[in-house]
Chains A and B, each alone.
Chain A
Amino acid sequence: MLETTQRLVLTPDSVRERDREFAAAALPLMPHVKRYALSLTRNEADADDIVQETYLRAHRYWSTFHDGTDCRKWLLTICRNAFTTNVHREERSIAVEDDELESLAAARTHNAARVAGVDDIYAQLDLGPAIRAAIDKLDTVFRDVVVLSDIEGFSYEEIAETLGIPMGTVRSRLFRARRHLQEALMVYALDAGFGRVQGAPRKSTAEATNNG
Chain B
Amino acid sequence: MDSRRSECEAIVRRLWPYLDDKLPETDRERVTRHLEECDDCVSHFDYARAFLDAVHAARPPANPDDALRARVLTALSDHGLAI
Q: How far is the CA of A174 from the CA of B52 in the complex (A)?
A: 12
Q: Is the CB of A59 within 8 A of B65?
A: no
Q: Is the CB of A106 within 8 A of B44?
A: yes
Within A74-116, the residues touching B (CB, 8 Å) are 99-104, 106-107, 110, 113
Query: Interface on B for A, CB 8 Å cutoff?
Result: 9, 12-17, 20, 22, 43-44, 47-48, 50-65, 68-69, 71-73, 75-76, 79-83
Instruction: Give the secondary structure class of B's interface.
Output: helix
In the bound complex, what is the Cα–Cα distance between A119 and B83 (angstroms)? 54
Which residue of chain B has the shortest Cβ distance to A102 in the bound complex?
A: B16
Residues of B within 8 A of A101 (CB): 13
Using known A-B contacts A128-B58, A132-B58, determine if residue A59 contacts B69 with beta carbons closer than 8 Å. no
Instruction: Verify A30–B65 contact, CB threshold 8 A.
Output: yes
- A34 interface residue, CB < 8 Å from B? yes
For the complex formed, measure the closest distance between the CB of B60 and the CB atoms of chain A, giving whole angstroms. Answer: 6
The main secondary structure of chain A at its interface with chain B is: helix
> What's the Cα separation between A135 and B54 when bound, in Å?
12
Residue of A with least CB distance to B8: A107
B58-A127 in contact (CB<8A):
yes
Q: Is there an interface contact between B55 and A12, defined as CB atoms closer than 8 Å?
A: no
Q: Is the CB of B47 within 8 A of A119?
A: yes
A46 CB-CB contact with B under 8 Å = no
Shortest C-beta distance, B55 to chain A (Å), equals 5
Given contacts A106-B12, A149-B20, 10 further A-B contacts (CB under 8 A): A16-B82, A22-B81, A30-B65, A35-B62, A51-B72, A107-B44, A119-B47, A127-B58, A131-B55, A151-B56
CA distance A69 to B58 in the complex (A): 26
Bound-complex Cα distance A129 to B43 (A): 25
- Shortest B61–chain A CB gap in Å is 8
Minimum CB–CB distance from B50 to chain A (whole Å) comes to 4
The reply to whether A59 and B81 contact each other, CB–CB distance below 8 Å, is: yes
Q: Lowest 5 CB-CB distances: which A-B pairs, in order?
A: A31-B62, A122-B50, A131-B58, A100-B13, A103-B15
Can you offer 12 A-B residue contacts whose CB atoms are under 8 A? A16-B83, A27-B69, A30-B65, A55-B76, A56-B75, A99-B17, A103-B13, A106-B48, A110-B44, A110-B48, A122-B51, A151-B55
Are B13 and A31 touching (Cβ within 8 A)?
A: no
CA distance A19 to B82 in the complex (A): 6
Determine the residue in chain A with the shortest Cβ distance to B15.
A103
Q: Which residues of B contact A132 (CB under 8 A)?
A: 58, 60
Which one of A38, A56, A185 lies within 8 Å of B60 (CB-CB)?
A38
Residues of B within 8 A of A151 (CB): 55-56, 59
